[in-house]
Amino acid sequence: MRATWIVIGSLLFALWAKTSFFYYIPLLSPNLYLLFVVLFIIRWKGPEVYYIAAIFGIMADVYSTMSFGVYGFSFFLMSFPLRWYAIKMFQGSVFSLPILVGFLGLVLKLIIFVVGIGASQEVGLKVGWIREMLLFEILPTALLAPYAYTALVILEKMGNIRLHERKF
């Protein structure tokens, strides 16, 4: 039950930070939903992470201008290869997390772009959009990854929870 509270607390924190704190900083817009999904899948290797990814994706959908379900579907699709990576290859290195989060941020944006084209008939990539996406969304998200991972491990120790050993 305490693990559920960590998931709900991080969802509420991402919602609060996205709508209040980072809203007033126009040059800094990390994707906290993506960050928490990556951290939960990396730490919690059970099949429940698919549902967690979909829930975080739906919360990202609520504040998106895209068609509803694009982020939820994209997060859900991204969770399968990420869970495979977490089970087969991830060794617990904090230093590889920024690269992983940055790469997954790019993959997520690519999936959203492809699905968004089918949903809303938008075409064309603009250089300004790519630059802003890389500098103001993906890079801050990647730089926050080691600190958020460390905070999650500290929360696990404080709550006596072992996410990597248990099921939901």
pLDDT digits (tens, 9 = 90+) for 57-107: 999 988 887 788 888 999 999 999 999 988 888 877 788 888 889 898 888
**Long-range pairs for 139-143 at CB < 8 Å and ≥24 separation?**
139/102, 140/28, 140/29, 140/30, 141/30, 141/31, 141/32, 141/34, 141/35, 141/101, 141/102, 141/105, 142/97, 142/98, 142/99, 142/101, 142/102, 142/105, 143/98
pTM here is 0.85
Tens digit of each residue's pLDDT (9 = 90 or more) over 11-61:
888 888 888 887 778 778 888 899 999 999 988 878 889 999 999 999 998
pLDDT digits (tens, 9 = 90+) for 119-146: 565 556 677 777 888 888 888 889 989 9
**Whole-angstrom Cα distance, residue 163 to residue 168?**
9
Q: What's the CA gap between 118 and 123, in Å, rounded?
A: 10
